[in-house]
Amino acid sequence: MRAYLFTAAALFLSLEASASVTIRKTDRGSTGYEVDFRYFNATAKRVLIGGGIQPFTDQFHTTGTSFRFNGRYDPRDYKPGDFYVSNPSPQLPAEPAYKWPYEMSRSEGGFWTYTTPLPSGTYSFAYLVDCNYAPNCSIDTGNLVIDPDLPPFLNVPGDQVASSFQVPFDARFQASPELNTNFDYALDTIDPHLHRGVIKTANYTSPGSIHPAPGVHDFTIYLPAEYGRVSGKKYPLLYLSHGAGGNGADWENLGRMSHIMDNLIRLGHIPPTVVVMPSFYNLDSESPRFIYGNKSNSVPVPPAHFVRENFERFLFPWVDEHYDVCRHASCRAYAGLSMGAVLTYEMFVNATDKFDYYGMFSPATAAPYINASSVAANPQLAHKGIMIAYGLYDFVLPQARDLQTALDAVEIRYINRVTPFGSHYWNTWQDELWWFGVKVLWKALPFGVQTGR
């Protein structure tokens, strides 16, 4: 009844500011699925769909050395085995040099529409309204518009600037002998009651923090479906970090990590595990501050040792006190992407007794690396479960290899994952989180050639 009474108002509102994304199974090419975007704006002159939706390429027309010469295919021309690599900078090329594949058409009544096939994967996007160059578009000036009907996962407004959705795999149109591009491990579970965990944001007391409120900092937490149903049980705990220019909501909003965890647990790859995704910005007023929604020309990086010390003082004790998590290093892990992998390396070297598992995804440089004398001074370094992962087209590939070379030199064994379609982007990090669960988390130490087989 109540819903009925509100229908007229809702309709009126929907004409004022409305958008929708519909994913349709088509049973035909190019991918077996089509996505309809619909956005209302009567005054706009041009609307592009920007963000994490990129042109496609294939492994025979992609290099990690010059993105300029990569194949860039419209998804209507998708072929099995195609994938996207993010632009080296997420900029839409300015007109008239390049026609972006996701340009919306104006239809009747001020609606803008776009329909495209898309293959399996997670896509994030925002509407760029009368703005052809992504770095120049922002929420403040109104030319970057977040889909009002598909709001981002976040704690406070401004923390995320894109919405996301997931397209399923259809083997008839997407299976390829060249490459597996099935991302269904990030799809929502078929049995929510049994398998869907809880994902939410939380605030904690962090003296000195300037965001989201003075003295208050925040994180995102994943609690497995079983959490709270077994009295007295303590769960293994994974800390999972964002990278430079991000925050604790990234892994869920852009990477759908809760679905990845649900599936890792459902398929028995790991026992139910709690995941805490902290934010490494705005911990105090001295260190570099960063807020997504605030346009910024440079992406600051706070020193890893500062973040570690801050988390050790305020975050870790708070999490231990408020959640049913296990306290021993053997059931605690730290992982992160890019600068978050540098922070993970800092935890490995300087919080060695707190975690037995470390996942360094697309690690940016963390040199100087450990050497024989560091291992002699801290022998535990050689008894951890480590994964080092990076994309084949990842611009940090050389740095990731340097880190591996440093560990090779002191005979520290690690699990290696080179994501075959990977650039420095979320599809790579989703893949790496998945394999971190399958091959690394909570596996018996020490790691050997049989680990994860």
Give yes or no for residue 300 binding ligand NAG (CB under 6 A).
no
Give yes or no for residue 199 binding ligand NAG (CB under 6 A).
no
Give yes or no for residue 291 binding ligand NAG (CB under 6 A).
yes
User: Smaller CB distance to ligand NAG: residue 111 or 133?
Assistant: 133
Give yes or no for residue 203 binding ligand NAG (CB under 6 A).
yes
Burial 355-390 (b: 16+ CB within 10 A, else e): bbbbbbbbbbbbeebbeeeebeeeeebeebbbbbbb
**Residues of span 394-453 touching ligand NAG by CB under 6 A:** none
Q: How many residues bind ligand NAG (CB under 6 A)?
A: 31
Give yes or no for residue 374 binding ligand NAG (CB under 6 A).
yes
Distance CA 325, CA 238 (A): 10
Give yes or no for residue 375 binding ligand NAG (CB under 6 A).
no
Residue 42 phi/psi, 5-degree rounding, is -75, -25
**Residues of span 102-141 touching ligand NAG by CB under 6 A:** 129-130, 133, 136
Give yes or no for residue 90 binding ligand NAG (CB under 6 A).
no
Structure tokens at 76: 């209507």
Stretch that binds ligand NAG, among 76-84, 188-196, 212-220, 261-269 (CB under 6 A): 212-220
User: Smaller CB distance to ligand NAG: residue 293 or 452?
Assistant: 293
* Cβ atoms < 10 Å from Cβ of 95: 11
* Cα angle: 45, vertex 50, 51; to 5 degrees: 155
Give yes or no for residue 189 binding ligand NAG (CB under 6 A).
no
Structure tokens at 329: 């290093």
Tell me how far, at minimum, the Cβ of 211 lies from ligand NAG, in Å: 7
Tell me how far, at minimum, the Cβ of 193 lies from ligand NAG, in Å: 24
Stretch that binds ligand NAG, among 36-44, 225-233, 386-394, 434-442 (CB under 6 A): 36-44
**Are 205 and 314 contacting, i.e. CB atoms less than 8 angstroms apart?**
yes
Distance CA 193, CA 368 (A): 48
Residue from 186, 265, 349, 386 binding ligand NAG (CB under 6 A): 349
**Residues of span 141-170 touching ligand NAG by CB under 6 A:** 142, 145, 155-156, 158
| DSSP element (H, E) containing 348 | helix 339-350
Give yes or no for residue 41 binding ligand NAG (CB under 6 A).
yes
- Sheet containing 216-223: order of strands: 198-205, 216-223, 274-278, 237-241, 332-337, 357-361, 385-391, 415-419
* Cα angle: 275, vertex 280, 285; to 5 degrees: 145
Distance CA 91, CA 383 (A): 43
Please tell me the total number of residues recorded for the chain in this structure: 453
Q: Which residue is nearest to ligand NAG (CB)?
A: 142
Residue from 35, 44, 275, 335 binding ligand NAG (CB under 6 A): 44
- Residues in touch with ligand NAG (CB under 6 A): 17, 41, 43-44, 94, 129-130, 133, 136, 142, 145, 155-156, 158, 201-203, 212-213, 216, 218, 291, 293-294, 305, 349-350, 368, 371, 373-374
